[in-house]
Chains A and B, each alone.
Chain A
Amino acid sequence: MTGYDKPLPKLNSDTRPFWEGCKKHELRFQRCLGCGHVIWPSSIICPKCHARDTEWIVASGHGIVYTYATYHVAYHPGFLSDIPYVVAIVELDEGPHLLTNIINCRVDDVKCGMDVTVVWEDVTPEISLPKFSPD
């Protein structure tokens, strides 16, 4: 038992490559070989051009806060001791928008547009979560 009491992601053939990357502390995304679009969430087709051939790239881990929400209530007992906490959408330099948490700063200091970099939380032997911290 891990003692980790928050929800864990569901792994399936679409999502597993991303989470396997996370385990190695890499943010992996598909890039379309047809049009160059960075595909997220991962898929069997490119939503821009419907090409099926892709390559995997590793993102730099840097981005900006596109938007965020500050939770003052816990909808799940695992988050009770975290409130208030920030859920954010980070726009990565490579393009994808990633739902995540902003950590290592006061919730009132989070702003749209602020520069952030990935920090990894190894929550189980299989799952590492990409969270973000101000630069």
Chain B
Amino acid sequence: MSLKDKYAIVGVGYTQQGSVPGRTSLSFHLEACVSAIADTGLKKDDIDGLICYRHFPASSDENDLTPFKVAEHLGISPRYIYQDANCSRSNLQNAVGALEAGLCNYVVISFGHNALSSDSLFYLLDEFSGDDAVFGHFGATGGYALPARRAMHEYQTGPDTWKHIAVGQRKWACLNPNAVMYGKPMTFEDYMNSKWIVEPFRVPDNCLVNDGGRAIIMTSLERARDLKHKPAVIMGLGAHHPCLDIKYATAMAGPTGAKKASEEAYKMAGITVNDVDACEIYDCFTYTVEVTLQDYGFFEPGQGEDWFKGGTIEPGGRMPVNTSGGQLSEAYFMGLTPLSEAAMQIMGRCGQRQLGPKTKTKEPEIIICSDNGGILQSHSCCILRRL
């Protein structure tokens, strides 16, 4: 039996974000969850499912952060709880699965991290890098630089393609007062003049490091009809997890997990790429956006530069991408940055960045979203539609 049009995102919770010193990661989870619950009009005791995005090593001044802790402070005792450990991005599938199986009725999916103002990322870097550190290979920037360079070898891509992504998303961020990069426009020259981190990536090819949190609430379409906002309905879901450590992978330049994941999602939704009005793509790096859109079928390998050229993804463009500014220019909350923005756009609640007449774009009926974990090891695709 198809899961099409059975479940929906019904609320989004925001927090203070950017540089917010003096706050624990737990506090951001709680602020996000409470905001999301209030956004739906539900009571806390209605929430019987809790999914927390990945477990991080705690900062030196904080205790281990688990879903137990989040539930304890929220004062709830759910029937379903889950947290992934290593960015295996199945949270949406777990939520839908739990709802479909009747294990719970209202699920909150939450992320919170004081990534900028604590030392937590240093511990993560150590845990993440393992023996790769022996050769000076650390973290995600180096990790994604390897496939990005391989793509430059296999077909035409590189900074001249990626600058359109970085600059285009920055334009969206400049319409979003919550975005970390609001009021900080960027030109192609600014992009090209910025410093290398791990070549071929410059500073603006990297997602932001910020404090804050984000949460969404999911339930059945039937229950969604009683809540405050028009639901963002899940019409397609797909996932593929290549799993291979990037150093052993031979599909760095695509197809990544995004290919099979999107094929599955299009099939469930009964649509093609031509039916998509906008994209909210997991953008840990600019290259991730290119290879994901490529695998989703928007263009062939090597045609990215031509496709992006001329403001395709910007306000006023023919295929808006990452309309909050994304993780590159709004804020990083794992897969919840793209997913929450897609839901808000479908609900029509995005203020001056709202797709439609305000931004000279098509009013969104259908938005495709991605989530991606590890170094291209895990991919989840979700297609949302307006009711």
Contacts and interface: CB of A to CB of B under 8 A. Distances in A.
B195 interface: yes
Nearest to B144: A69
B197 A87 contact: no
Interface in B108-158: 125, 129-139, 142, 145-147, 149-150, 152-153
B195 A9 contact: no
B149 A112 contact: yes
Nearest to B195: A72
B248 A69 contact: no
Name the prevailing secondary structure of the A interface residues. Answer: mixed
A97 B247 contact: yes
Interface string B335-352: 000000000000000000
B136 A6 contact: yes
B271 interface: no
Contacts of A40: 248
A70 to B, nearest CB: 4
A70 B131 CA distance: 18
Most-contacted residue by chain A among B195, B199, B249 (CB, 10 A): B199
A85 B136 CA distance: 9
B135 A68 contact: no
A105 to B, nearest CB: 15
A69 B134 contact: no
Contact of B196 (A70, A75, A87, A97): A70
B136 A82 contact: yes
Contact of B199 (A7, A69, A79): A69
Contact of A9 (B134, B145, B250): B134
Contacts of A87: 135-137, 142, 146
Interface of B: 125, 129-139, 142, 145-147, 149-150, 152-153, 195-200, 247-250, 252
27 contacts: A6-B134, A7-B131, A7-B133, A7-B134, A67-B146, A68-B149, A69-B142, A69-B149, A69-B200, A70-B196, A70-B200, A72-B196, A72-B197, A73-B198, A75-B125, A75-B136, A75-B139, A76-B133, A76-B138, A78-B136, A84-B196, A87-B137, A97-B247, A97-B249, A99-B137, A112-B152, A129-B134
Given A76-B138, A101-B136, 19 more contacts: A6-B133, A8-B134, A67-B146, A67-B149, A69-B142, A69-B146, A69-B149, A69-B198, A69-B199, A70-B145, A71-B142, A72-B198, A74-B136, A78-B136, A87-B135, A97-B247, A97-B248, A98-B247, A99-B132
